[in-house]
Chain A
């Protein structure tokens, strides 16, 4: 029994919720999850195919690795061409292909690329290699950004001069708005990201319920969390309500974690960001404030040559990320594009929709 994990995997309770869902669900219910960790959890626990026909779970732009545009990956790879550079990154960015290459491939050619578990490890590397420039590839949503901000604050306090961030940080609520405004997918509810909400709280989603009349449930990640959240969404749909409800109460407070948000805002300010598949969404990104410019790789290395961006022919990651198609509806899925030979990031990222479907769901719709 692992505390706060095992109890949420109880078979009887899970089957009980599924029976209740089956009992009450009559109306069409297309729900989108906007968190890659949810996509994987749903697939890994076989939830997708255990729901009644009228309930469809659609994966959205929830994987921060997948929504990083090629141009941002290409910029990070271009940094490697500078002398005396160590690139540090979280593991999940290693294999993601940019226009021409990936961090993993560059490491195989001899580039100094190191995987770290925490930004604090990256600072250690900077301390231990004072003659090198240590650049951290900043990718992530609001769960991760406070930790990156904290690393910059600590680097400044400890007078570490050779540490910087190449940032591609994004925030989730503006992307949800952009998707709704695109109006491409008939959505009846959002499964909201539990750990992003742990930081930002439940208030940032209120506009979705209020202005777009779409139900929202902030969901945890264990099987019972997800099943209970789907049940709550269905209940809203059947009752004709549209509210923001918190299922993941043990971690999400209405105001989130103000300390973490404060740290994030101390270092970052809103900016526009380029989302793969969607394009530039105003105010959906974060950039480092002037006060911390010394830690902004974009400003420290303004003249690096980045080759022209190109997208891979036939790759439909963008359509998958917008919820327009299921992964198996992409012509390349499972044939040309597999986890061993990926064409786009959705297949290579550990939280990509295509990888999750390929690994855990049937390769074709059952």
Chain B
């Protein structure tokens, strides 16, 4: 990493963020579990396996169509735990609040968090609050951390994608990023684009309970679907090919992306899941996802193949092939 100062790009979740992590954080924090860079750390505690994760939320604006920073903070951490195949059990929350924030806004955020916790079945069991002087934080920043319990027979990781796996996507991409952007930029939609922010532990449980052989799960947040697929490819040493015509994208997202020059594949999602499952179980897993209220538009979007040159390919709408690169640089700052 050549920069001597932190750039906005370092927080976007794409290739530049990765270079910050690999060139700095991983050189100092050398634990092998951290090195796996999965959404949650999978740890042994006695004879049990536990998933442990943390995330900070700096989204601007605080309230956007379909959600707010509070709902994001709960769902984000619940989902990170679920993506490791864990049953989310408890979360903590830390607030950094700027002096002057209206109490009514804080109340709205807390109420939203409580609702999300209720829906996910995961309580806040501990927390911390700091208040900083005006100008030292933008209204409110939230950190959540979570622990979950992983059953013995679960082995889910971004490095587990196997030759012949089917790649499933639980629904339309780009909704969250565009919903936030639309509020931020004051864009008006004919049919509003709504953030998909949602807890996915129910969906994950359904897929695991279906008996399908699940190898990898991830929610495509910052950096979008492109980053997630590239992470799978690189961590597992596979080439993933997806069919562009199978990837659901709403008209509103397509139109906004055309207008703003954004690539929907690189826009953040907060209520979607990407799964790599054994080819033979693809339909079973798809059915389980579609039965969940957040997975109605799920599709099998591609396949994985063993390779020594990990990459992601797109079979385009016009029947040609191109590669799908990871997001590099800052496309949408402060999207989650």
**A residues lining the B interface (CB < 8 Å):** 1-2, 5, 9-11, 14-15, 43-47, 49-50, 91, 95, 104-105, 108-109, 117, 223-224, 227, 338-341, 350, 358-362
B-side interface residues, number (CB < 8 Å): 31
Q: Are B319 and A361 in contact, with the CB atoms below 8 A?
A: no
Do residues B321 and A105 form an inter-chain contact, with CB atoms below 8 A? no
11 extra interface residue pairs, beta carbon distance < 8 Å, beyond A2-B255, A49-B320, A339-B325: A11-B317, A14-B319, A14-B320, A44-B316, A46-B314, A108-B8, A227-B318, A339-B15, A340-B329, A341-B2, A358-B325
- Is B110 positioned at the interface, with any CB of A under 8 Å from its CB? no
Q: Is the CB of B329 within 8 A of A339?
A: yes
Q: Is there contact, CB below 8 Å, between A11 and B318?
A: yes
28 pairs across A/B with beta carbons < 8 Å? A2-B251, A2-B258, A5-B254, A9-B317, A10-B318, A11-B318, A11-B319, A14-B319, A15-B318, A45-B316, A45-B318, A45-B320, A46-B316, A46-B321, A49-B320, A49-B321, A105-B5, A108-B6, A108-B7, A117-B185, A338-B15, A339-B325, A340-B16, A340-B19, A350-B261, A359-B323, A360-B323, A361-B323
On B, residues with C-beta under 8 Å from A are 1-3, 5-9, 15-16, 19, 185, 245, 251, 254-255, 258, 260-261, 314, 316-323, 325, 328-329
Other-chain residue from A9, A104, A224 in contact with B7 (beta carbon distance below 8 A):
A104
Across-interface contacts of A224 in B (CB, < 8 A): 318
Measured between beta carbons, the chain A residues less than 8 angstroms from B318 are 9-11, 14-15, 45-46, 223-224, 227
> Complex Cα distance A5/B255, Å?
10
> Which residues of chain B are near A361, meaning CB under 8 Å?
322-323
Greatest chain A CB density within 10 A among B2, B6, B9 is at B9
**A338-B328, A340-B16, A340-B328 known; A108-B322 Cβ under 8 A:** no
The 6 A-B pairs at the shortest CB distance, nearest first, are namely A46-B320, A14-B318, A339-B328, A46-B322, A359-B325, A50-B320
A10 surroundings in chain B (CB, below 8 A): 318
User: Least Cβ distance of B188 to chain A in Å?
Assistant: 14
Residues of B within 8 A of A44 (CB): 316, 322
> Given that A9-B317, A14-B318, A223-B318 are known contacts, is A362 also in contact with B329, CB under 8 Å in the complex?
no
Contacts A2-B251, A14-B318, A46-B316 given; indicate if A362 touches B5 (C-beta within 8 A).
no
Q: In the complex, what's the smallest C-beta–C-beta distance from A55 to chain B, in angstroms? A: 14
Nearest-neighbour CB distance to chain B for A351, whole angstroms, equals: 9
- For A102, the closest partner residue in chain B by CB is B7
A360–B254 CB distance below 8 A: no
A287 and B52 alpha carbons, distance in the complex (Å): 60
Chain A residues near B320 (CB, 8 Å)?
14, 45-47, 49-50
Q: Which residues of A contact B8 (CB under 8 A)?
A: 104, 108
Given A95-B329, A104-B7, A339-B328: A2 and B317 interface contact (C-beta under 8 Å): no
